[in-house]
Amino acid sequence: MTMALFRAPIPGSGIDATRDRRPGVPMEIYPPRPAGNAHWHTPERQPDPGNILKRKGLEQLTPVFGTTNPPRGLSGLLRRAAYKIPEHATSHWFVLLLADRIDAIEHNPGRALTLAVPLVAVGIGLGYLSRKKGTI
């Protein structure tokens, strides 16, 4: 048997083939040049409201950023703490995830009860067992 029998027609295969056999060639611009009619090289910067969090190594804010949900409350405090930790550390992302969960509870206090009631019940049960047996 030849190897040709084992090849499956996979869309996008052959991307490293010669230029005349590549599937994206008709859409490529050669030589590459900017597309569109932008009247600027870098977009105009938004004013900094002062409460935007940015990563530690970033000198200035990106030209465009979101301001719809400013950090506030306990979740905002956790976010500020997370951005003091380098991005490559797992604890940075863990604290941001925790802040997201707390933010969800802060915006919907009824949800806090649905989470707190089972936790309190487990705590009471463990407290009862530890008194009865002396240790857990």
On the question of pLDDT at 1 being above 50, the answer is no
Percent of the chain residues topping a pLDDT of 90 = 1
Q: What mean pLDDT comes out for the span 95-121?
A: 79
Q: What mean pLDDT comes out for the span 11-18?
A: 64
- Output 19 or 49, whichever has higher pLDDT: 49
Q: What mean pLDDT comes out for the span 55-80?
A: 80
Could you give the CA distance from residue 130 to residue 136 in angstroms, rounded to a whole number? 5
Q: Tokens 């949900």: give the residue.
A: 69
C-alpha dist (Å) from residue 97 to 62, 78, 131: 23, 10, 35
What average pLDDT is seen over the chain?
75
Q: Tokens 């932008």: give the residue.
A: 38
Element (H, E) at 80: helix 73-82
Amino acid 17: pLDDT: 65
Report if pTM > 0.75: no
Amino acid making up residue 19: R
Phi-psi region of 110 (alpha: psi -120 to 50; beta: other; left: phi over 0): alpha
Could you give the CA distance from residue 136 to residue 124 in angstroms, rounded to a whole number? 13
Nearby residues of 106 by Cβ (< 8 Å), 6 or more positions away = 73, 74, 75
Q: Where are the domains of the chain?
A: 71-136
**pLDDT confidence bin for 135, thresholds 50/70/90:** low
